[in-house]
Amino acid sequence: MYVNMGLIGYPLGHTFSPVLHTHFLDITGINGGYTCYEAESPSSIPYLLDMFRRYSFAGVNVTVPYKIEIMKYCDALDASAEKTGAVNTLRFVNGKITGYNTDVYGFGRMLETAGISTAGKNILLLGAGGAARAVIAYLAEFQPDKLTIANRTVAKAGFLASLCSFKAVSSDMDSVRGGIYDIIINSTSIGLKGEGFPAVGAASEALVDLQYKPAVTPFLAGYGSGPERINGFSMLVWQACRSFAIWTGTEPEPDIKKLSDIAYRS
Ligand code: ATR
C-alpha cells in the first residue's frame, strides 16, 4: 500500500512539513509520500479536494490562510476541530472528508515535554488569530486561574475571551506591558518579516512562542535572561505526528534532535 499525504496553503516555500512526514515514513517503514499544493486563491480548493479524492489520498494538512475556510468542505468535524473552530488536518475515507485539529495536541505535548503546567496559572496570551484558538482550546482543559488575551485589534481578543469557559479578559498590547504573569504565550505573527518584538510584560515561569525560526525567535529575543524559554518547534513536530497517526494508524516516535538539526542548519 502507498499512502498519499500532502499540504494545502499559501505560501508554502518555507514549509518544514515534507521533511517531518518523510522522517515519519522512514522510521515507521510505511510506503508513501507527502507533497505540497500551493493554493494562491481559495477558488482552487474544490479542485484540489477533488484530485485528492480521485487519487485516494489518506489525508492532507491545511495551513495558513485556509484553516477556517476549509471547514465548509468537511462532511464531519472531529471534537478537536469543533472545540478549536479551525481545521489543520483532513482525512479522506470513502470520498468523505473529516476535519481535525492537531495543533491543540501539539501545543499540549510541547508544554508537557517542557514540564510546563497551565493549570491555576496567571497567563498572558499575545494574539487573537487562528493560532490563539488552539492555545485556548488547550487551556479549556488545563484551566488557568486567569487568562489575559492581548491583541492589536482588541475586539478580536474580546471575542475569544467571550468563548472561554474560564476567567478570561481582553486587552490592547500596550496595557499589558507592565504586567507580571506566570506564563506568557506568543501566538502573533510579529517578527516573521524580520521586525523586532520588544518585550511585552514579565513572566516568572515560562515564555512560550508558537513561532520557531530562528531558534531564538524575535519574541524570545525581546527578553533578557529569565524564565524557561521555548520556541514552537516541538509543537510543529507533535502536531505533524498526530496528523500522520490519523492517516496511517501508526504514531511515529520522532527523533526531535535530528529534525531540529535539519531545521536549524545553515
Ligand atoms: P495565525 O493563524 O498564525 O494566528 P492570524 O490569524 O493572521 O494568523 O493572526 C495573526 C495575529 O498576529 C493576530 O493576532 C494579529 O493581530 P490583529 O488581530 O490585530 O491583526 C497579530 N499581528 C500580526 N502582525 C502584527 C503587528 N505588526 N502588530 C501587532 N499584532 C500583529
Give me the CATH number covering residue 53: 3.40.50.10860
The pLDDT of 77-91, averaged and rounded, is 96
Average pLDDT estimate for 64-70: 95
Which residue among 125, 187, 188, 239 has the greatest number of ligand 1 atoms within 8 angstroms of its CB, and so is best to mutate?
188
List of E strands, the chain? 3-9, 32-38, 59-62, 76-77, 89-93, 96-100, 122-126, 146-150, 168-171, 180-186, 202-209, 228-230
Taking the CB of residue 215, how many other CB atoms lie within 10 A of it? 11
Between the CA of 132 and the centroid of ligand 1 the distance, in Å, is: 10
Task: Give the pLDDT of residue 94.
Answer: 95
Ligand 1: does its nearest atom lie under 6 Å from the Cβ of 152? yes
| Distance, CA of 227 to CA of 87 (rounded, Å) | 32
pLDDT at 205: 97
- Domain match, 86 and 108 both: no
Report the nearest-CA residue for atom 6 of ligand 1.
Answer: 129
C-beta 188 within 6 A of ligand 1? yes
* 8 A C-beta contact, residue 36 and residue 15: yes
Ligand 1 center from residue 251 Cα (angstroms): 32
Whole-angstrom Cα distance, residue 66 to residue 88?
8
Whether the pLDDT of residue 127 is over 90: the answer is yes
CA 128 to ligand 1 centroid distance, Å = 7
141 and 95 both lie in a single domain:
no
Same domain flag for 92 and 110: no
Determine how β-strand 89-93 pairs with β-strand 76-77.
Answer: unpaired
**Nearest residue to 57 via CA among 86, 22, 33, 81:** 33
Instruction: Answer for the pair 59, 243: CB distance below 8 angstroms, yes or no.
Output: yes
175 lines ligand 1 (CB under 6 A): no
Cα distance between residue 187 and residue 134, in whole Å:
10
Q: Residue 252 class from Cβ within 10 Å (0-12 exposed, 13-18 middle, 19+ buried)?
A: buried
Same domain, 122 and 185: yes
Contact criterion met (CB below 8 Å) for 63 and 15: yes
* 51 in the same domain as 118: no
**What percent of the chain is modeled with pLDDT above 70?**
100
Atom of ligand 1 nearest to the CA of 86: 2
Span from the CA of 149 to the centroid of ligand 1 (angstroms): 12
For 145, the 3-state DSSP assignment is: coil
- Report pLDDT digits (tens) over 163-195: 999 999 999 999 999 999 999 999 999 998 889
123 and 217 share a domain?
yes
224 with 200: CB under 8 angstroms?
no
Same domain? For 109 and 71 the reply is: no
* The pLDDT value given to residue 183: 98
Ligand 1 touching residue 158 (CB < 6 A)? no
- Pairing status of strand 202-209 against strand 59-62: unpaired
Question: Residue 266 pLDDT more than 80?
Answer: no
Indicate which residue's Cα is closest to atom 2 of ligand 1.
130
The band of 1, judged by pLDDT with boundaries at 50, 70 and 90, is: confident
Based on the fold, state whether residues 154 and 250 are members of the same structural domain: no
- 188 alpha carbon to ligand 1 midpoint, in Å? 5
Q: What average pLDDT does the segment 202-220 reach?
A: 96
pLDDT of residue 225 exceeding 80: no
Same domain for 94 and 113, yes or no, is no
Helix, strand or coil, per DSSP, at residue 209: strand
**How many domains are contained in the chain?**
2
* Domain identity same for 143 and 208: yes
Task: Find the CATH number of the domain harbouring 165.
Answer: 3.40.50.720
Decide if 156 is catalytic: no
Q: What is the mean pLDDT of residues 107-118?
A: 97
Indicate the residue type of 221.
Answer: A
- 174: cell is 500596550
- Are both 121 and 223 inside the same structural domain? yes
113 and 94, same domain (yes or no): no
Which pLDDT score, from 0 to 100, does residue 226 have? 78
Contact assessment for residue 199 and residue 168, using Cβ atoms and an 8 Å cutoff: no
Q: Cβ contacts of residue 193 below 8 Å, gap of 6+?
A: none
With 70 as the cut, is the pLDDT of residue 55 above it?
yes
Annotated active-site residue in 67, 146, 193, 258: 67
Kindly report which listed range (80-94, 213-227, 236-250) carries the lowest average pLDDT score.
213-227
The range of the structural domain enclosing residue 55 comes to 3-101+234-265
Average pLDDT over residues 229-249: 98
